[in-house]
Amino acid sequence: MAKHCLSFLLILLSIFSLLSTVEPSFAGHTAHRRSRARANIEAACKGTLYPDLCIHCLTTYVKPNTTIQSPQELAHVALTASLYRALYARAFVLKVAKEIDILKRENQVVRDCLQQINDSVDQLSGSIKELRRLGNSPVGDDLFWHISNVETWVGTALTDASTCVDELPGPNMSKLKATIKGKFLNVAQTTSNALALFHRFAVRYKAAASATKKP
């Protein structure tokens, strides 16, 4: 009986010893993948106007333990992050619009911003769908048309968000206007970053497509 207990104890010790060597190795591999993903994101965000915000958005929406290598994937994540910010801003303005009767003087500017954020949501949603089509289409003139669509729509979304920001100038604005301006400024900045990342992808994609088409 004692021998069986001793043998069982030795087996357990062997298992624990094996786990102690495997787990640190797995943890180290995971940490390495995260480090590579972070480095890739930081390198891509250097070309944006708001790199810190860019890094924050991409690291927030990238799945854990995922190493993003493709500029198209980075652009897709950036556009998705921008769309989420736009949806959040729209939800806030919609809530304000329902309570607008007590804010007669701010009625028009809030409604203008609501229309602009609605347009931004539509443009960003369309851009994400169009970007997905790029990965499913053969190399041809249609690809450049898809790229042009995304650039146009994201640029329009940026203009819409920025217009609301420009309509709310001045240091003495009400708390409501300041809140709306802050949310739209965030949408404008994330959309600007997304557009820069898409330009980065588009330049490489056009070059690769042109090289493929050459005899």
CA dist 79 to 57, 85, 118, 192, 197, Å?
10, 10, 16, 10, 9
Give the span between the Cα atoms of 117 and 95, in whole angstroms.
13
The domain spanning residue 102 has which CATH number?
A: 1.20.140.40
| pLDDT given at position 185 | 95
Question: What is the pLDDT at residue 104?
Answer: 57
pLDDT at 204: 80
Is residue 75 a contact partner of residue 200, using CB atoms and an 8 Å limit? yes
Whole-model pTM over 0.85: no
Locus of tokens 């920025």: 162
* pLDDT, averaged in runs of 10, over the chain (215 residues): 48 45 46 70 92 92 67 91 95 82 63 91 95 70 83 95 85 78 94 95 76 59
Q: Report the distance separating Cα 181 and Cα 160, nearest Å.
A: 13
DSSP string for the chain: -HHHHHHHHHHHHHHHHHHHHHHHHHHHHHHHHHHHHHHHHHHHHTTSS-HHHHHHHHHHHSPTT-----HHHHHHHHHHHHHHHHHHHHHHHHHHHHTGGG-GGGHHHHHHHHHHHHHHHHHHHHHHHHHHHHTTS-SSHHHHHHHHHHHHHHHHHHHHHHHHHHTS-STT--HHHHHHHHHHHHHHHHHHHHHHHHHHHHHHHHHHHHHHH--
Give residue 103's pLDDT: 53
pLDDT of residue 192: 97
**Site of tokens 């609605």:** 118
Q: 113: domain range?
A: 3-213
Q: Which pLDDT score is estimated for 28? A: 47
pLDDT of res. 161? 94
d(CA 186, CA 191): 8
Number of domains observed in the structure of the chain:
1
Task: Write down the residue that tokens 């997905």 correspond to.
Answer: 132
